[in-house]
Amino acid sequence: MRLRDLAELVRAPAALSVPGDAIAGAAAADSLDGRTAGVAAASVCLYWAGMAANDWADRDLDAIERPERPIPSGRIAPNTALAIAGGLTAAGLGLAAAAGGRRTLGTAAVLAAAVWAYDVKAKNTAAGPAAMAVCRGLDVLLGASTGRMRRAVRPALTVAAHTYAVTALSRREVTGADRSLPALTLAGTAAVAYTATGRRGWAPVALAGWYALRFGRAQRDVLRDPAARRVRAAVGAGITSLPALQGALIAASGRPLAGALVAAGAPAGARLARAVSPT
């Protein structure tokens, strides 16, 4: 197994969209400090675990629809992918416990259970987008678990709403979509951007506008041409635009510099996505 094969299995570039969840949660909970780095590392491990578990669970379907992926192409054995997913889950739980103690570990355990439930059971059902949205909302709450978690409910719901839209689009990556889907997700993106501003100064407004522009432009292309390749591009844009949304949420919590730094991950993720697909 080559390093590139592993990177494809876990969608390595997409991890740039993960630490912002923890930082947004911690900023809202007024607990952004040194512990947040450990919580963010735990989030990345759980995200990568979910990607590996996703490919393990979808190995038969991918053999038909996406034979180029690491498992159906024979570059990574199914049992190896499952072991990687399990090892990353354990690493994520360990990092969460070390960073934030029992409450953070408990939140991470709920998140890990939600991730595995999505991959193994819920993903290909009507509940799939909602289940994925729950996972991402819990990831924001994981960041808030070292502080006042109730204050992080708004950013958690905002990130969850964005995730719902991206996941709904992703279900049409192979078949293409009708124009009603991008019309709905585009309206949702506008609502998410407005919610993220928190009406607290120019920084969150600017970052939320940047998010809406990046993701909205790709959805507009799907609205014009709902072919599968356009849908895949929109899903990729949704993943790589998330740091801009997280940055807006962080700025709205009174941390504009931290928000700007997190948002800088959006163009970086887009560049890496050209080498390794984030979807």
The predicted-structure confidence for 160-218, as pLDDT tens digits, reads as follows 999 999 999 999 998 999 999 999 999 999 999 999 997 678 999 999 999 999 999 99
Report how far apart, in Å, the C-alpha atoms of 97 and of each of 60, 103, 104, 110, 115 are: 35, 8, 6, 13, 18
Burial class of residue 33 (count of CB atoms within 10 Å of its CB; 0-12, 13-18, 19+)? exposed
Pick the closest to residue 136 from 269, 27, 43 (CA basis): 43
For residue 47, the model assigns a pLDDT of: 97
List the domain range (segments joined by +) for residue 96.
Answer: 3-273
Helices (H) and strands (E) in the chain, counts: 12, 0
Q: Is the dihedral of CA 160, 163, 165, 170 positive or negative?
A: negative
For residue 14, the model assigns a pLDDT of: 84
Residue 37 and residue 272 in contact, taking contact as beta carbons nearer than 8 Å:
no
Residue 10 and residue 51 in contact, taking contact as beta carbons nearer than 8 Å:
yes
Residue 211 and residue 196 in contact, taking contact as beta carbons nearer than 8 Å:
yes
How many other β-carbons are positioned within 10 Å of the β-carbon of residue 264? 14
**Domains: count for the chain:** 1
What tokens does 40 get?
């963010």
Per DSSP, the residues of 8-45 read HHHTGGGGGGSHHHHHHHHHHTT--STHHHHHHHHHHH
Residue 215 lies in a domain: yes
Amino acid type, 271: R
Residue 278 lies in a domain: no
Pick the closest to residue 146 from 35, 259, 43 (CA basis): 35
For residue 275, the model assigns a pLDDT of: 78
pTM of the model: 0.95
DSSP three-state, residue 264: coil
Name residues of the chain where pLDDT drops below 50. none
Residue 125 lies in a domain: yes
Crossing angle of helices 265-273/228-252, nearest 10°? 160
Residue 142 lies in a domain: yes
Pick the closest to residue 268 from 9, 12, 10 (CA basis): 12
CB neighbour list of residue 169: distance below 8 Å, 6 or more residues apart: 177, 181, 182, 185, 219, 222, 231, 234, 235, 238
Residue written as token pair 């912002």? 20
Residue 279 lies in a domain: no
For residue 224, the model assigns a pLDDT of: 95
For residue 120, the model assigns a pLDDT of: 95
Residue 216 lies in a domain: yes
Give dist(CA 188, CA 193) in Å, integer: 9
